[in-house]
Structure 1
């Protein structure tokens, strides 16, 4: 299916919803890296991407073809050959990339090199994105956001059935721009769904399994991974796994803007006939919640064209 680059895709009833489509894009590291250079540095041609990324011609061609089908790029032929121009749909992914970049720089361990800091061109200062409520403008902590499934929301419909093939963990050193821990959190359908369940209040093994309908071995493996990354901590009887209570850590809660930005992008560009997949509200208020990213240095709203990296 070819997705229109400048208007939302109308989905069929009963299939993958907006969350599944969003995670199918955000879970692929090569896609994020290709977008990162297109958004930040204006890269448009295959030779330019290959200068900044250790990516083979075949993998790059495959990703660009798929990203064009998704409506993220519009290919144009000119006197220098093929160029891939960002579409409104592709450019709208900048909040996801900014939130991943900031989270990896703040929380992830084991980067080959330190990630460069982001700089806000409006105020000239280095910054981190701060999550605020677009309705009231106030800064918001993850605990202050509540979510529930909407008319097209369910765990089976929200977990992407397929994602683009990702690099193996033993691949070459990518240096700055490599998102290792983010990939572990949203890099496959079960990881993304598990993280979503944790944000929506799942605390016990049985709750994760009941909500997701995943095999027990998958749930156990993801819980071990999330614990090893420091995203979840376990409380309760150490000798009784059935009594374990899993709780998000500060590191786990800090990833919430990544997930929110991806879901909002998905619900903007993929419309199910039944209605939205998930509905968020600002806890303690009477209004819905949507993400507004502010500069930590000047408190002004961020836009995709007003940032660079040092």
Structure 2
């Protein structure tokens, strides 16, 4: 999941594709992206199964990039990112728009609910354990994820600025997950994740400076802003377990403590409590 989604351009292209953009020229117009980077990302997203390249003109041959079922199912992750960046990250050139729910006609914020009992769920209500295919070592991508160069980012850097500090670096994401399950001390992070000490110290500093963690008394504790990333983590995890399933079973098993059953997260509207559909969410500019 991190290898596929750990890149801001990939997330932004996926966002535009879900809004109905399919042609190269329209992606190039809507995003501050160089042609070389756009070509590489579209090629990679097609190879990764997020987009399908389909011909729409024969002479000369031209193609459009249509979201696959795998690509379309990213909408909860993108919605969770949108909400977190809108509420917690001020470093946007323009404030992100509010979300509007076509189902009830209200501006809204998404909330995580349990599919089984429909209760609103926070990180305190869910117990996580390793499944048959899970371990820290197996869940870490072997290679670094794709990142933009400084020159590429210069135009409008940080369209998802702090989300990419989490999704765009394998150690940051793993640190945050470990923090959610109760890890607080440097040596414990190092022992669980197997991260090089220098990389670990660097990522802890970045997450602390961004206000996601608070370093107090030799411990790294999630702040309110850090806990608010729960919808991003849970929707990304569910997407990963759906599309990158291992034959022996899931990597992570989640249980909702209140109702005692396996936890399947659903994003719901905080105004009408109805489960959200991607097609019913629009921005209100």
Task: Tell me the TM-score normalized by structure 2.
Answer: 0.94
Segments of structure 1 that go 5 or more residues without pairing to the other structure are 1-21, 237-243
1:190 alignment partner in structure 2: 171
Shift of 1:169: 5.1
The answer to whether structure 1 residue 217 and structure 2 residue 198 are counterparts is yes
Task: Tell me the TM-score normalized by structure 1.
Answer: 0.87
Q: Deviations over 1:127-170 (max 9, x none)?
A: 11101111111001111111111111111211122355212456
Q: What is the distance in 2 between the residues matched to 1:172 and 1:62?
A: 19
Q: What is the distance in 2 between the residues matched to 1:71 and 1:39?
A: 15
Q: What is the distance in 1 between the residues matched to 2:4 and 2:278?
A: 18
1:288 alignment partner in structure 2: 262
Q: What is the distance in 1 between the residues matched to 2:245 and 2:279?
A: 26
Shift of 1:291: 0.8
Secondary structure of 1:75's match? strand
Q: What is the distance in 1 between the residues matched to 2:154 and 2:215?
A: 33
Out of 107, 122, 139, the residue aligned to residue 158 of structure 1 is: 139
Q: What is the distance in 1 between the residues matched to 2:170 and 2:57?
A: 41
Secondary structure of 2:279's match? coil
1:68 alignment partner in structure 2: 46
1:138 alignment partner in structure 2: 119
CA RMSD of aligned residues (A): 1.5
Following TM superposition, the consecutive aligned residue runs of length 4 or more in structure 1 with deviations greater than 4 angstroms are: none
Q: Deviations over 1:198-231 (max 9, x none)?
A: 1121111111000001111111111111111111
Q: What is the distance in 1 between the residues matched to 2:274 and 2:63?
A: 37
Preserved contact between residue 6 and residue 146 of structure 2 (Cα < 8 Å): no
Preserved contact between residue 54 and residue 172 of structure 1 (Cα < 8 Å): no
Secondary structure of 1:193's match? helix
Preserved contact between residue 131 and residue 294 of structure 1 (Cα < 8 Å): yes
Q: What is the distance in 2 between the residues matched to 1:162 and 1:216?
A: 18
Number of residue pairs matched by the alignment: 280
Higher normalized contact order (CA 8 Å, seq sep 6+, divided by chain length) = 1
Secondary structure of 1:76's match? strand
1:272 alignment partner in structure 2: 246
Equivalent runs, 1:1-310 vs 2, <5 Å: 22-40=1-19, 42-79=20-57, 81-168=62-149, 171-174=153-156, 178-236=159-217, 244-310=218-284
